[in-house]
């Protein structure tokens, strides 16, 4: 993915890519999450300019999950913020959410509420 | 795709002045971003001014959805019997509080619940008066707008001795869906 895909001022540290069965790729830049055609997915990527991509191999039984959890902290040092990048899938019987932490670590959970963050 | 711009806005005084808040220091002063100073310290057996704060989605070009607001505080108050109370709660939510000029006496608006001292595990501050988003768009922000007011207040117990309290941190968390 070229740098041109990350317009200055709109950079998200991690961005998604939808890789389709026919080999084409839908990039987050310029598209909305709801634009992803899940019935044509081969894999779902979370990509970072300086890290290896995280790849979710797709299954037709999956329903894709993607959202951001944002924490704003007002402490003695003023305001601090952090963002968790959450993606994963849900089926009739199970849910798996992959949470990219601020340090790049990955937490895997069936319930995002189990992930507690403090600044 | 741009993420929404989300800021904390605080309302103060009878003039209903709205200011971006980057701190939530509390004392006997009805101003945003209060400087920590002895002159503003809360005396024993007294209340701080209420804080009236909201989450404000000020820009949202992509039409992302903001929901699931949680509020809590970490840290220890000045004395063992001091209290920090709020309208934020995960059950029996009283709906959106209507702004009333902040005061430094005990108020019903700010004294519905003890402020959680860890992530409450569920939404405890509403949008449009409800904690639970509905399919018709109530309970979430998908353009620009405000959450319900977070109203909170500290009471310093009569037994608390004068002096600086340990640092506390107020957390406001939300989820954003693209």
The reply to whether A46 falls in a domain is yes
Domain that residue A73 falls in: 13-114
Helix (H, G, I), strand (E, B) or coil at B139: coil
Number of domains in chain B: 1
| CB contact B118 to A (< 8 Å) | yes
Domain that residue B172 falls in: 1-178
Reply yes or no on whether the pLDDT at A7 is more than 60: no
Interface test mutation site (partner B, options A66, A72, A77, A78, max chain B beta carbons within 10 A): A72
| CB contact B97 to A (< 8 Å) | no
Q: Which of A30, A68, A75 sits opposite B167 (nearest CB)?
A: A75
As for the ipTM of the complex, it is: 0.95
Mean pLDDT of A9-33: 88
List C-alpha distances in Å: B41 to B79, B86, B130. Answer: 13, 20, 34
- Tell me what pLDDT residue A11 has: 61
pLDDT digits (tens, 9 = 90+) for B7-25: 999 999 999 999 999 999 9
Number of domains in chain A: 1
Reply yes or no on whether the pLDDT at A89 is more than 90: yes
Residues A63-93 as b or e (16 or more Cβ within 10 Å = b): ebbbbbbbbbbbbeeebeebbbbbbbbeeee
pLDDT digits (tens, 9 = 90+) for A70-80: 999 999 889 99
């Amino acid at each position: 993915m070229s740098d041109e895909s990350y317009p200055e001022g709109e950079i998200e540290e991690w961005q998604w890519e939808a890789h389709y069965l026919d080999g084409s790729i839908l990039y987050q830049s310029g598209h909305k999450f709801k634009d992803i055609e899940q019935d044509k997915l081969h894999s779902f990527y979370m990509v970072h300019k300086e890290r290896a991509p995280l790849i979710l191999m797709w299954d037709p039984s999956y329903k894709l999950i993607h959202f951001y959890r944002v924490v704003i902290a007002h402490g003695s040092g003023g305001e601090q913020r952090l963002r968790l990048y959450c993606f994963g899938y849900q089926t009739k019987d199970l849910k798996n959410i992959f949470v990219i932490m601020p340090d790049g670590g990955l937490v895997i959970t069936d319930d995002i509420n189990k992930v507690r963050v403090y600044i | 795709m741009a993420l929404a711009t989300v800021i904390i806005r605080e309302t103060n005084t009878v003039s209903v002045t709205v200011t971006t808040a980057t701190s939530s220091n509390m004392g006997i002063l009805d101003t945003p971003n209060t400087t920590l100073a002895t002159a503003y310290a809360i005396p024993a057996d007294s209340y701080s001014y209420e804080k009236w704060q909201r989450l404000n989605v000020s820009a949202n070009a992509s039409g992302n959805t903001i929901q699931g607001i949680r509020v809590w505080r970490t840290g220890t108050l000045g004395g063992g019997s001091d209290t920090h109370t709020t309208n934020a709660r995960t059950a029996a939510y009283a709906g959106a509080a209507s702004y009333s000029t902040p005061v430094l006496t005990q108020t019903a608006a700010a004294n519905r619940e003890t402020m959680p001292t860890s992530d409450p595990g569920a939404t405890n501050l509403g949008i449009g008066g409800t904690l639970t988003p509905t399919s018709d768009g109530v309970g979430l922000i998908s353009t620009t707008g405000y959450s319900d007011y977070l109203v909170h207040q500290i009471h310093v117990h009569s037994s608390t001795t004068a002096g600086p309290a340990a640092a506390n941190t107020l957390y406001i968390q939300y989820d954003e869906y693209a």
